[in-house]
């Protein structure tokens, strides 16, 4: 091995620029940590002429990706360009050329993480992607290092800052979904087309990555059930609050008897739950492991500086592994076959809000129907509605299977006294279940 | 360097036993992480004959500490025996014999951390103590690795499980301090003599360690102002709750203009603060850094398994550093001279509860006095008391200096309408201040 480590960057946007700055400004500290200098060899950019926010020798820039991907002097390829198909191709070629990879690309890892991982292992290369899930929250290292001797039973995450910002505004300031979204857009917390965030897809990608690591099972993006926040009303939040709950978009991963479920869905948390106070654009991941019990990681979740910091700590980890001669072993291949729970194995409490004809016997009919499907009530709220002849009924159930819920919802729809099912949200219970 | 790393243990109690088990059961994983085997060479025990919970070759046991401390075959001394003076002596001798140290001993590090650290640096040895602060919460690594390029402005911790358990019981179940303490003792969360926990000394030791690292300043135990929870009444919690606060024993470290303050004191947190939902025996440390913003680490804080896991991850870090030839550099010596804030530089909001004569002009007199001392009110609650002729007044102030509070408290005592100052607690504001 030569006396220093060379980095090639794919991309020089805000994160890439942050990485270059951190490496330039902390060279001495890096040498202390890893025992040798780290230098930047080549950087792929779209436009060679563009002015840069950081001082870079012009000769380091290239617009040919293969100057990085197949450069014989480069040890570590740092991918901060984004994109999926082309980027996947570059990284596969880099791995085959025995280059280690650090990437911040969540979409790529969610879709092609397994393929990239196995290619990395075949070539004894490291593939690290701490920055892909929640920049500034060291959750991936937490799952792979610290807790590696523990069996993880449950993982819950607030992993999308945009939706958490919107829900916080709706909850604290009483804004409508539409107003909260437009505020988020004005402040730069939501994109002009917010679909991927508000419909839960961004969170689903992160949950696929986290569940794969937590359960050591080849969970794919398609295995994650997704629903977003665009249907949530102020009324839902108000009734939830009355009953002692806070609404969050929760990524939920649970395993029991080596069978897993992974979802992203609006969820009512008891106000005292550690995730209930994670507000605004912040992210947090809560992990329940058999040995260590509950742990939680909380942080900014995004932002170019936290993300660049995560990328640099991945680079440090790769350099250490190179010098220790243990690359390609940090993330082991999935140890367990993928087995997903069926609807009878998924168990939860639900918040159900209904509009019902305000007549004698309506509530009794409803009760009988739930009871016949083995679902009992933990909390009930009944209020008259302004609309004449209708009542609002809010129910929080005890734990029951998804199969039972599906049956009951079907039967409710056939019930003449029920005018409409207004909402149906998962309710987080207490403890590890 | 020989082809494996040898460990010597000082102590074989519950944590030591856990460390031995983890090393025995995860040998293959350890080799994957560090690139060479890790073996146990010698273990200091008090009683050679005692039956052990773990399978150990009898020849590994010794009752002579110098069989470990000066053993030429041992690379890393793992100290899990506790104690201060004698233990300090052993570790200093071990460092001078070029042995790296991993310790779980908070009392020792709080009192003699600086001396041990500088001896370690002189001998190019590592000294790691992740398990000393909050077993299972990787806060020390967070402060030394991940955030190392960031300037930390504020750190707040719930770092004592016993007091957090007691306060949670008082708050949620309405128990008195005495009843909550005896419950904690029955459940094993508090010792027969709970003084060190309930008077805040245990938390102060941990805060000295954390503040030293966070501010890179030689903070000593005596620099930590301490008050405990034994004076807190159910009434305080009730009024706090009415005003939207939750009471926690908070370790508080703040720096501004390179001047620091460190304290442990009962503190009212806004209910929405991330630390407000850290309940029961759990620990959490909240860090505000200039670059990364808010991060929080949450976990069990104690327990033999989490603590042993922290010890083993320190061992892994030392072995990596040994093989990278970068030992003795991980924790740099303090970079800034110790400067503590004076009373005019410490700024906070306070919760003040008073018993006042229920007569015309009493409240006006009180207001005038606070106003004359530049302290204004954010929230006021006045209620009649059962005791005839008295009123209860609860005030939450805006931010003011400790000097102003000291003056106002002195003057209140001279006020004839004020019968008694019942309580005086710090109130945490929002954000980084």
* A 262-291: CB under 8 A from B: 271-274, 276-279, 282, 284, 286, 291
Provide the token pair at A146. Answer: 């610290």
Of B324, B358, B383, the one marking the end of a domain is B324
Domain assignment of residue B85, yes or no: yes
CA distances from A416 to A158, A373, A377, B300 (A): 39, 18, 21, 51
Three-state helix/strand/coil letters over chain B: CCCCEEEEEECCCHHHHHHHHHHHHCHHHHHHHHCCCEEEEEEECCCCCCCCCCCCCHHHEECCCHHHHCCCCCCEEEECCCCCHHHHHHHHHHHHCCCEEEECCHHHHHHHHHHHHHHHHHCCCCEECHHHCCECCCHHHHHHHHCCCCCEEEEEEECCHHHHHHHHHHHHHCCCHHHHHHHHHHCCCCCCCCHHHHCCHHHHHHHHHHHHHHHCECCCHHHEEECCCCCCCHHHHHHHHHCCEEEEEEEEEEEECCEEEEEEEEEEEECCCHHHHCCCCCEEEEEEECCCEEEEEEECECCHHHHHHHHHHHHHHHHHHHHHCCCCCCCCCCCECCCECCCCCCEEEEEEEEEEECCCCHHHHHHHHHHHCCCCEEEEEEEECCCCCEEEEEEEECCEEHHHHHHHHHHHHCCCCEEEEEEEEEECCCCCC
Nearest to B299 by CA among B131, B50, B425, B73: B131
Shortest alpha-carbon distance between residue B186 and chain A (Å): 21
Please give the pLDDT value at position A46: 94
**Residues near A385 by beta carbon (within 8 Å), at least 6 away in sequence:** A355, A358, A391, A392
A281 & A308 share domain: no
List alpha helices for A52-105, DSSP H. 66-69, 85-96
CA–CA separation, A264 vs A425, rounded Å?
A: 11
Number of domains observed in the structure of chain A: 3
Domain assignment of residue B422, yes or no: yes
DSSP annotation string for A350-414: EEEEEEEE-STTHHHHHHHHHHHTT--EEEEEEEE-SSTTEEEEEEEE--EEHHHHHHHHHHHHT
Q: Please give the ipTM for the structure prediction.
A: 0.79
User: B341 pLDDT exceeds 80?
Assistant: yes
CA–CA separation, A34 vs A28, rounded Å?
A: 10
Please give the pLDDT value at position A430: 61
* A 322-361: CB under 8 A from B: 323-326, 329-330, 332
- Please identify which residue in the block is written with the tokens 């903070």: B219
A46 & A194 share domain: no
A vs B: CB pairs below 8 A: 139
- Say yes or no for a CB contact (<8 Å) between B273 and A273: no
A148 & A130 share domain: no
CB B59 within 8 A of CB B349: no
| Residue from A173, A299, A331 to probe the interface with B (highest B Cβ count within 10 Å) | A299
Please give the pLDDT value at position B135: 76
Mean pLDDT of chain B: 91
Provide the token pair at B143. Answer: 């402060």
- Say yes or no for a CB contact (<8 Å) between B300 and A292: yes
Nearest to B146 by CA among A312, A19, A302: A312
A376 & A415 share domain: yes
CA dihedral sign, ordered B135, B140, B145, B147: positive
Provide the token pair at B404. Answer: 């102003």
A149 interface with B at CB cutoff 8 Å? yes
Residues in the annotated binding site of B: 10-17, 106, 191
Q: Which residue of B has its CA nearest to A270?
A: B277
**Residue B369 neighbours by CB distance under 10 Å:** 17
For residue B131, count CB atoms less than 10 angstroms from its CB and return exposed for 0-12, middle for 13-18, buried for 19 or more. buried
- Say yes or no for a CB contact (<8 Å) between A150 and B279: no
Residue-range definition of the domain harbouring residue A35: 5-135+304-324
Please give the pLDDT value at position B433: 44
Three-state helix/strand/coil letters over A322-362: HHHCCCCCCCCCCCECCCECCCCCCEEEEEEEEEEECCCCH
B143 & B279 share domain: yes
**Which residues of chain A neighbour B172 with C-beta distances below 8 Å?**
272
- Say yes or no for a CB contact (<8 Å) between B293 and A276: no
Please give the pLDDT value at position A146: 57
- The mean-pLDDT minimum among B88-97, B151-160, B359-368, B371-380 falls in B359-368
Please give the pLDDT value at position A332: 64
Residue B184 confidence class, pLDDT cut points 50, 70, 90: very high
Residue B432 confidence class, pLDDT cut points 50, 70, 90: very low
Output the domain CATH number for residue A76.
Answer: 3.40.50.720
How large is the angle between the packed helices B14-25 and B304-324, nearest 10 degrees?
A: 60
Q: Which residue of B has its CA nearest to A330?
A: B33
CA–CA separation, B315 vs B23, rounded Å?
A: 10
CA–CA separation, A138 vs A429, rounded Å?
A: 26
Pairing state of beta strands A293-299 and A347-357? unpaired
B122 & B265 share domain: no
User: B85 pLDDT exceeds 60?
Assistant: yes
Distance of CA B191 to the CA centre of its chain: 18
> A144-179, pLDDT tens digit by residue?
765 455 678 999 999 999 999 999 999 999 999 999
- Find residue A390's DSSP bridge partners: A357
CA distances from B157 to A146, A214, A352, B24, B271 (A): 21, 27, 38, 34, 16
Q: In this complex, which of A278, A295, A326 lies closest to B274 when CB atoms are compared?
A: A278
Beta strands in A24-106 (DSSP E): 38-44, 61-62, 76-79, 100-103
A236 & A151 share domain: yes
Output the domain CATH number for residue A357.
Answer: 3.30.70.260
Residue A198: how many CA atoms within 13 Å on its side-chain side?
21
**Which residues of chain B neighbour A320 with C-beta distances below 8 Å?**
320, 324
- Please identify which residue in the block is written with the tokens 């730069």: A188
- The mean-pLDDT minimum among B35-44, B139-148, B218-227 falls in B139-148
Q: What is the side-by-side order of every strand in the sheet holding B38-44?
A: B61-62, B38-44, B5-10, B76-79, B100-103, B127-128
Residues with pLDDT less than 70, chain A: 1, 145-150, 330-332, 430-433
Residue A189: how many CA atoms within 13 Å on its side-chain side?
23
Mean pLDDT of B401-425: 94
A286 & A374 share domain: no
A375 interface with B at CB cutoff 8 Å? no
CA–CA separation, B66 vs B85, rounded Å?
A: 16
> B246-266, pLDDT tens digit by residue?
999 999 999 999 999 999 999
CB A298 within 8 A of CB B295: yes
Q: In this complex, which of A137, A299, A324 lies closest to B35 when CB atoms are compared?
A: A324
Supply φ then ψ for residue B87, to 5 degrees.
Answer: -65, -40
CA–CA separation, A220 vs A214, rounded Å?
A: 13
Domain assignment of residue A188, yes or no: yes
B81 & B165 share domain: no
Please give the pLDDT value at position A2: 78
| Residue from A130, A146, A287, A305 to probe the interface with B (highest B Cβ count within 10 Å) | A146
CB B346 within 8 A of CB B261: yes
How large is the angle between the packed helices B161-173 and B177-186, nearest 10 degrees?
A: 130
DSSP annotation string for A180-226: HHHHHHHTTSS-SS-HHHHTTHHHHHHHHHHHHHHHTB---GGGEEE
- The mean-pLDDT minimum among A182-186, A406-410, B98-102, B287-291 falls in B287-291
Supply φ then ψ for residue A91, to 5 degrees.
Answer: -70, -35
- Say yes or no for a CB contact (<8 Å) between B296 and A309: no
CB B376 within 8 A of CB B370: yes
- Find residue B424's DSSP bridge partners: B352
Domain assignment of residue B330, yes or no: no
Domain assignment of residue B340, yes or no: no
Output the domain CATH number for residue B239.
Answer: 3.30.360.10
- Say yes or no for a CB contact (<8 Å) between A277 and B272: yes
B109 & B200 share domain: no
**Residues near B310 by beta carbon (within 8 Å), at least 6 away in sequence:** B104, B130, B131, B135, B136, B138
Residue B44 confidence class, pLDDT cut points 50, 70, 90: very high
Q: Which residue of B has its CA nearest to A148?
A: B29
Domain assignment of residue A432, yes or no: no
- Say yes or no for a CB contact (<8 Å) between B292 and A313: no
The four Cα atoms A198, A200, A201, A204 give a dihedral, to 10 degrees, of 150
Pairing state of beta strands A5-10 and A76-79? parallel
Please give the pLDDT value at position A32: 80
B295 interface with A at CB cutoff 8 Å? yes
Domain assignment of residue A433, yes or no: no
Catalytic residues of B: 206
**Residues near A191 by beta carbon (within 8 Å), at least 6 away in sequence:** A162, A185, A197
Distance of CA A254 to the CA centre of its chain: 14
**Residues near A36 by beta carbon (within 8 Å), at least 6 away in sequence:** A3, A4, A5, A319, A323
List alpha helices for A36-75, DSSP H. 66-69
**Residues near A48 by beta carbon (within 8 Å), at least 6 away in sequence:** A58, A61, A62, A63
CB B67 within 8 A of CB B42: yes
A105 & A155 share domain: no
Domain assignment of residue A337, yes or no: no
B106 & B143 share domain: no
**Residue A9 neighbours by CB distance under 10 Å:** 29
């Amino acid at each position: 091995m030569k006396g220093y480590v060379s980095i090639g960057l794919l991309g020089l946007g805000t994160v890439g620029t942050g990485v270059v700055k951190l490496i330039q400004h902390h060279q001495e500290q890096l040498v202390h940590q890893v025992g040798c200098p780290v230098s930047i060899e080549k950087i792929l950019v779209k436009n060679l002429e563009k002015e840069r926010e950081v001082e870079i020798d012009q000769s380091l820039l290239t617009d040919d990706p293969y100057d990085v991907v197949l450069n014989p002097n480069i040890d570590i390829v740092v991918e901060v360009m984004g994109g999926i198909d082309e980027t996947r191709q570059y990284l596969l070629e880099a791995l085959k050329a025995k280059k280690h990879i650090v990437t911040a690309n969540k979409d790529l890892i969610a879709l092609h993480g397994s393929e990239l991982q196995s290619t990395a292992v075949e070539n004894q290369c490291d593939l690290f992607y701490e920055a892909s899930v929640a920049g500034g929250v060291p959750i991936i290292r937490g799952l792979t290092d610290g807790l590696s001797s523990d069996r993880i039973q449950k993982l819950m995450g607030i992993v999308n800052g945009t939706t958490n910002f919107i829900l916080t505004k709706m909850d604290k300031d009483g804004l409508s979904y539409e107003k909260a979204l437009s505020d988020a857009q004005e402040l730069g917390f939501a994109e002009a087309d917010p679909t991927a965030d508000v419909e839960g897809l961004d969170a689903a990608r992160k949950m696929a990555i986290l569940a794969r690591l937590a359960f050591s099972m080849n969970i794919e993006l398609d295995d994650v059930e997704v629903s977003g926040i665009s249907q949530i009303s102020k009324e839902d939040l108000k009734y939830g609050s009355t009953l002692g709950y806070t609404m969050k978009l929760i990524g939920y991963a649970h395993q029991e008897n080596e069978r897993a479920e992974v979802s992203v869905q609006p969820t009512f948390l008891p106000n005292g739950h550690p995730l209930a106070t994670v507000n605004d654009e912040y992210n947090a991941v809560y992990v329940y492991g058999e040995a260590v019990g509950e742990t939680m990681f909380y942080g900014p979740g995004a932002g170019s500086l936290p993300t660049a910091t995560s990328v640099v700590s991945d680079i440090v980890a790769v350099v250490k592994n190179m010098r220790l001669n243990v690359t390609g072993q940090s993330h082991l291949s999935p140890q367990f076959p993928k087995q997903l729970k069926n609807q009878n194995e998924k168990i939860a409490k639900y918040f159900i809000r209904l509009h019902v004809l305000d007549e004698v016997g309506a509530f009794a009919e409803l009760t009988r129907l739930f009871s016949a499907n083995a679902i009992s009530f933990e909390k009930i709220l009944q209020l008259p509605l302004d609309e004449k002849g209708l009542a609002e009924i809010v129910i929080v159930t005890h734990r029951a299977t998804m199969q039972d819920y599906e049956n009951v919802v079907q039967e409710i729809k056939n019930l003449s006294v029920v005018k409409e099912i207004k909402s149906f949200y998962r309710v987080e219970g207490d403890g590890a279940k």
